[in-house]
Structures are given as structure tokens and as C-alpha cells.
Structure 1
Amino acid sequence: MPRQDGVPNCGTQDRIDAALGHRVSLRHRIGEREGRPLYTDAVGTLSSDGDGTLVVDTRRGEVRVERAAVAALRVVPPAPARRASWSAVAHLENLCADGWPALVDEPLGAWRLRAADGFSGRANSALAIGDPGVPPPAALDRVRTFAAAHGIPARLQTPVGSPWSAGAQRAGWTLDTGHEAGAEVAVLVMELTALAGPASGVTIGQEPGDDWWSVTGAPTGPAERHVLTAAAAPGYGTAHTAGRPVGAVRAAVVEDHLYLSRLAVLPDARRGGTGTALTRAAAGWGLERGARWAVLQVALANTGARAFYERLGATEHHRYHYLVPAT
């Protein structure tokens, strides 16, 4: 507590100095009423402006507090991350779907029924976001019918915790634990200006040339080729070492986002910066085409890829999972 002269005692000063850079709950005096002091609280990251004034960076903006006004201070845990709104999640999911176009993509209200001869879960599932325009049981029946007509398993791709996921699970749909690439996926975003950087040895072309295919693997059929090449003006990055292709990445600009996929580095070229160079080159390519953000989808089980992108500055926007009928 402050001394009677209004100056915090040494113990309080030491606690303030120790708390700089941390998230705190700070009670401070803001005046008097009828001879009694008035206090308020500010919660946020604590810093000092160098002139003896403290700054608490709260969610509503900066609060400036004189040290002499501090009445109590304690360090508190970091704030929980804010969940993106479902409308924001749906918008980003649609951008990703446009960046990874299925061979067949039929609307069901706000849902998208997709098929691509079995190539990837993303292109062979119903993207369940928003209002399907029919009662939920009828929408799920339509997913089954569409899947049967195209010779693929009935599967939903839907955001974790969303009302669309909850509705499907109430109807008996369960996690697709047999999904080879992983049934739960993190959608990551990052700022392109922070990601772009030097990328020697990387070229980005408008077509996936032989070198690009040699790293990613040749397509198994027309559906896979369509998914990888049909997005609007995609870019195909290839990294070379001593004239040999050793890495590849696919990029597609959708609105103001750069959708990244298919990052691959040959085993004998890993841990040498090739993946970073490919990602930074793709970021620069996207910036030149008006993108501001990168977005990508990584299976939760792929801990190595998630750690790689987090080191580059990626943060999780939301998660989705694949659900299948119980029977």
C-alpha cells in the first residue's frame, strides 16, 4: 500500500519492477469522493514509459498510471485466446475450399458437397458451415446420397465446437478415426509481411513443372491434377540444390489470403532451411499479388509441421474435424 504521503513503499516499487512485461491486475487511485479515495482496476500487460509512468495494455487500450497512484498489484495468468466468430471461421473455411478446389462442388445452402475421386479428405467431404437450407436430418441424408453417387464415403468437414458439428454428433455422426491423414486439423494463419524474406534457390512458376512433380509425386489421376491446378492463378514453388529439385510448395491467392499447401522437402535435404525458404518465397509471391495473410491446414497429429509453422509465426485460428455416420 502507499505511504501516507502517497508514494508507494519500497516493497511495492520492487513488485512493480518485477512485474514489468507480465500480465497484471493493477488497482490504482483515480480521485476522491466525499473525502474517501476512489480506486479502479486495470488488467493487461505492464510496462513503463521511461518517465515513471506505468502503462497497462488492456483489451480496450492503454491505461496510464502514476506509480504513486498504485494501491495493489498482482501478476495474473495470460488471457485465454479469443475464439474466432463462427462467421469468421466459415469465411476462412470457404477461402480454403476455393484454394483446394474439388472436382465436383455442389451447394447445399451454405454447405458444400465435394468429391474428387477420393483424393484428400478436404476435396471429398461435405463442408458443413452455416445453414444448409433444409432441416439437419435432411442435410445429412443429402450428404449420404451425394457421397454414394460419387463413390466416396459419407464424410463431414466441420469446425470443432460449432453448432453444425454438434448437430451432426447428435444425429449419431462420430469422429472419422480411420482418416489416414488425421481426423482433427488445425487451421493456421500468419501475416505475410512478417513471413516473407530471402529465399535463394527457390523459383515459383505458374505451372507445376517436372521438377515440382518429382518432389510432390506425380498425380494419380485427373481428379488429383484438378485439385492441384484448378485454383485461380496458383503458384508452384520449387527449391533446387546443386541443380537438383529438393523441395516444393503450392500457393494460391484467394481474396486477401495466400493458401499454402503441398509443402514437401526430400528426406536428404531436410533440416537445412529448404522448407523455410519455400514458405518465405511463397509469402513474397503472395504479397505481390495482393494477399495479406497466409492460411494453411495441418493435421493435429503432424506435430513436426505444426512446430515448423509456429516457429515462422503461425497461430491457430480454429480447428475442424471429419465426422462420419455411425452406421
Structure 2
Amino acid sequence: MEIPDELVGARVALRHRVGTRDGRPLLTDAVGELAADGAGVVVVRTRRGPVRVERSAVVAVRAVPPAPPRRAPLAAVVRLEGLCADAWPAQVERPLGQWRLRAASGYTGRANAALAIGDPGLPIAAALHEVCRFAREHDAPARVQVPVGSPWDRAVAAEGWVLNAAHAKGAEVSVLVAPVADADLPPRLRIELPPRPSAEWWRLAVGGPPTPAQDRVLAGAPDTAFGLLRDEDGAVLGQVRAALVADHVHISTLEVVPAARRRGHATTLLAAAGAWGRERGARWAVLQVALQNGGARALYDRLGYVEHHRYRYLVPPT
């Protein structure tokens, strides 16, 4: 049958002949992204691998919705949340059982929220009371960070805590991962990845010299690089921060100066940060992006990042 051109690149269900039995055709379905492979063959990229089908064997084809993302095992979510917290150290951190109470003078939501994963060693209501007490002690908002759909998400919500909808950066966040790879720097550009942030890096990141909280959060992880991308004249085009945590490189503080945007510099910075991590043993890159940041999410999707899980911020009811 004729396959419409508009289906190439789409996710499809493709029925095709695979033989005959007792004079009747044997049919099977392949579901995945459709690609052309010459004039007489198409390929369906299924979850189990590519399936090559002669066009003459195709019986029917139709577009189907995107596959729902596979949910990461809870143990993997807990591990990755812990690694991301290690890569983004708060100015003050105190354990509450397996929870982590954190404060950083208001700098970023992550560093000023209790990471609620594991057993807090107390009933949930009592643990949340400790979260509020710690927040008052450090003049911080009472806020917890919980993986969406986790037992701790449900338990905290059952105590009446609600989505932190007023959080300016976004109360719901996607945690994305991708394999790390070598990076090829475009001609006439150079990137620096020193282990300490320069004054130029700080100016782009926070507008000038850092506060103690900013210095702790951004420069407090033990194995970190502070990338600056420059043109052939030495002008700064953008920046990135990469922190090595176990077999992951945590990427953050990605910024391209306004005059240099839409030229692929963000892609270059991400690739350089990933390659830096790979040289030090990282197998995966991980980053966190608010769901409301559609532009950044589209970029990461194009670069092969996939969602591992989501987390959200919950606060006491008003």
C-alpha cells in the first residue's frame, strides 16, 4: 500500500505480512517511529529495536499517540535525587532520618526545601513539624521537595500540604537524563572549564560577586567545573556548571548572553559539560528543568534527554 509521506517521522502502528499459512497471510504489527530506508523499505523503530519492512508487505498503517514514558523504579529515583542534592549543596543541611532539611538564605528552591525521600524516623506529621521548625530557625519557607507519585508525595499531601504554586521558577520540575558523549567544539570558539568560578562566570551567573549562600550552592560541590564559552576575540558567549556525582554529571546554570542566542551555543555548552564528566567516569548527564520552561525542555528533547522522573514542591496550607 502507499504510505503517506506525513507519517514518516511519526509514531505509527504498521501492520505487515510476515508469511503465509494454509494459503492465508500471516500478519503482525510494529509500533514505533516510522522512517524511510530507500524506495522499497521502511523502518519502524520499536522499543525492542528497528523492524525493516518491505513496502509491498505493508497492509495498513496509522498514526498513534506517543508512548507513555516508562516510570523509573523508586530506588533509582531515590538514588538520582540524592545525587542531584549532592551536586547542589545547601548552605545549611541537617538530616531528619533519611530526609534532608536544607536552607540557603532563599537562594533557589532546591537549596531551601526539605528533600523528603526515605524514612524521616518520625511519623509524617511530626516530620513536617520539624520541617517547619527548621524553616523558622533559618528564616526560610517551609517547603518539601518530593518525587511526584512517590509514597512521600502521597504522605505529605495527605497531611494537607499543597503545591507551591507561587514558586516563581516553577513548582513542578522534570529530571532529565542522557548518555554523555565526546564533544566537538565549533571552529573559532573555545571553552574554559576551570575548577573554580571566575569573576566573569559569577557576573553572568548571579550578577556580581556571590553571597555566601550562592558561593556554597554553586561552588560547594567537590568536583565541579565552571564553563565559559568564548568567541575568537575572547568575548564571553555563555556559561555552564558541571558537577560530578558518582556516575552522573549534573549540569546547571546554563546561560547564553542575549546577543549570542539562537546560534547553537547552548548545545555546545551542554556537550562540553557532558564530555567533561565523561572524562571523569560519568556515564550519564542529568539536569532539572521546570515544566513551565517550554523552550528549554524543547532544546533538551532535541538533544536526546529523556525524563527520568518529576518532583514537586509542597507547602503547608494557608
TM-score, normalised by the number of residues in structure 2: 0.83
Residue 163 (structure 1) aligned with residue 163 (structure 2): no
Letter in 1 for 2:120: P
Other-structure match for 1:232: 222
Residue 167 of structure 1 and its aligned partner are, at CA, apart by 1.7
Q: Retained in 2: the 8 A contact 1:214–1:245?
A: no
Which 5+ residue runs of structure 2 have no aligned equivalent?
none
Q: Distance in 2 between matches of 1:313 and 1:62?
A: 18
Deviations 1:225-283 (A, max 9, x none): 01111112100101223223332111101111110111122222222333222222212
Residue 69 of structure 1 and its aligned partner are, at CA, apart by 9.3
| 95-104 or 39-48: bigger deviation | 39-48
Q: Distance in 1 between matches of 2:253 and 2:43?
A: 44
Q: Distance in 2 between matches of 1:64 and 1:229?
A: 50
Residue 135 (structure 1) aligned with residue 123 (structure 2): yes
Residue 210 of structure 1 and its aligned partner are, at CA, apart by 1.5
Residue 184 of structure 1 and its aligned partner are, at CA, apart by 1.5
Q: Distance in 1 between matches of 2:4 and 2:262?
A: 43
Q: Give the greater-gyration-radius structure (CA).
A: 1
Deviations 1:70-100 (A, max 9, x none): 8x65536243221222222221111111110
Letter in 2 for 1:75: R
Given the alignment, which residue of 67, 72, 85 partners 1:97?
85
What is the CA RMSD across the aligned residues, in angstroms? 3.2
Look up the SS of the partner of 2:193 in the other structure: strand
Deviations 1:184-242 (A, max 9, x none): 21212122117x33252211111101221222123542121011111121001012232
CA separation of 1:251 and 1:36: change in aligned 2, threshold 3 A? same
CA separation of 1:30 and 1:269: change in aligned 2, threshold 3 A? closer
Residue 197 (structure 1) aligned with residue 184 (structure 2): yes
Letter in 2 for 1:251: A
Residue 222 (structure 1) aligned with residue 212 (structure 2): yes
Look up the SS of the partner of 2:112 in the other structure: coil
Q: What percent of counterpart residues are identical?
A: 50
Q: Distance in 2 between matches of 1:210 and 1:68?
A: 64
Residue 245 (structure 1) aligned with residue 236 (structure 2): yes
Deviations 1:144-167 (A, max 9, x none): 122122221110111222222122
Which 5+ residue runs of structure 1 have no aligned equivalent?
1-12
Q: Retained in 1: the 8 A contact 2:199–2:209?
A: no
Look up the SS of the partner of 1:205 in the other structure: coil
CA separation of 1:74 and 1:230: change in aligned 2, threshold 3 A? same
| 243-252 or 90-99: bigger deviation | 243-252
Look up the SS of the partner of 1:287 in the other structure: helix
Other-structure match for 1:83: 71
CA separation of 1:157 and 1:312: change in aligned 2, threshold 3 A? same
Other-structure match for 2:256: 265
Residue 121 (structure 1) aligned with residue 113 (structure 2): no
Deviations 1:92-120 (A, max 9, x none): 11111111011222222332111112211
CA separation of 1:218 and 1:18: change in aligned 2, threshold 3 A? closer
Q: Distance in 2 between matches of 1:127 and 1:67?
A: 53
Other-structure match for 1:24: 13
Q: Distance in 2 between matches of 1:307 and 1:20?
A: 20
Letter in 1 for 2:71: R
Residue 313 of structure 1 and its aligned partner are, at CA, apart by 2.3
Q: Retained in 2: the 8 A contact 1:42–1:58?
A: no
Other-structure match for 1:109: 97
Q: Distance in 1 between matches of 2:295 and 2:35?
A: 35
CA separation of 1:105 and 1:19: change in aligned 2, threshold 3 A? same
Letter in 2 for 1:208: P
CA separation of 1:37 and 1:307: change in aligned 2, threshold 3 A? closer
Instruction: State how many pairs are aligned.
Output: 311
Residue 47 of structure 1 and its aligned partner are, at CA, apart by 8.1
Look up the SS of the partner of 2:86 in the other structure: helix
Letter in 2 for 1:289: R
Residue 40 of structure 1 and its aligned partner are, at CA, apart by 7.7
Q: Distance in 2 between matches of 1:48 and 1:201?
A: 38
TM-score, normalised by the number of residues in structure 1: 0.81
Q: Distance in 2 between matches of 1:234 and 1:114?
A: 20
